[in-house]
Amino acid sequence: MISIIIPAKNEEAHLGATLAYLRQHAPHPSAEIIVAEGGSADTTADLARRWATVVHGHDSTRAALMNAGARVARGDVFFFLHADSVPPPDFVTLIRTALADPRVGGGAFDHQFSEPVFGLWLVSTIDRIRFRLTKNYYGDQGIFVRRAVFNQMGGFPDRAILEDLEFSRRMKRIGRTLLIPRPVRTSGRRFLNGGITKTFLWIVWLLALYTLRIDTERYAASYRKENDRRGAPC
């Protein structure tokens, strides 16, 4: 079984469509859906209960929510997905095929924004080049990992931001990772609401600090505040 784990806070506008899509293309018992809900002020939790197992983590970071979801998961593979993202229809088969090689511990999908906006296409193209060169993946690509590898890693690191990047870097140290060349389609709302160029440069700056081993956690509060303002994932 594949455990699909979705961290969500104030996602009533997007979560329902994502859950309906997942249930259509990954029926039980091939997959289970777990929503790790972060203390939403809207109907996210009620909406999630119609489709998924719900765990709660009031005002938790995304890393803490994903770890909470993993603790109740029953699958041998974990697939972490954002509330505003949808994988290819045959994603269960694609993940199983990728993990047919026992040397592969996990991986991610290609990336594509849902909105047909040139600036978003350019950002996605740059990202595609980056993660093909580095094999470091973002959460909106849909990161998947074997349960055993996840446990060996101790789950997601206790970070307020860039937990997905650190997780994929650690995953590479344990075994091979694989990029599935089919895209997860994700909302570009963070870029559209905050300005494509401004948001892209903000992320590049954080990545530069992270690469130089300069503490990025001090910027976590402002990063989350900006995400909330832009209606971006938790």
Query: Cβ-count burial of 219 within 10 angstroms (0-12 exposed, 13-18 middle, 19+ buried)?
Result: middle
Closest CA to 20 of 46, 40, 47, 2: 47
What distance in Å separates the CA atoms of residue 126 and residue 200, rounded to the nearest whole number? Answer: 10
Does the pTM surpass 0.75? The reply is yes
**What per-residue confidence (pLDDT) applies to 160?**
84
Q: Give the domain ranges of the chain.
A: 2-187
Q: Each residue of 120-147: pLDDT tens digit? A: 999 999 999 999 998 899 999 999 999 9
CATH 3.30.360.10 fits 2-187, yes or no: no
**What per-residue confidence (pLDDT) applies to 146?**
98
CA 107 to chain centre: 12
The pLDDT of residue 152 is above 70: yes
Q: Which residues contact 55 (CB under 8 A, 6 or more apart)?
A: 34, 35, 36, 37, 68, 69, 71, 72
For the record, the structure tokens of 3 come out as 């455990």
**What per-residue confidence (pLDDT) applies to 207?**
87
Q: Which residues contact 182 (CB under 8 A, 6 or more apart)?
A: 87, 88, 91, 94, 109, 110
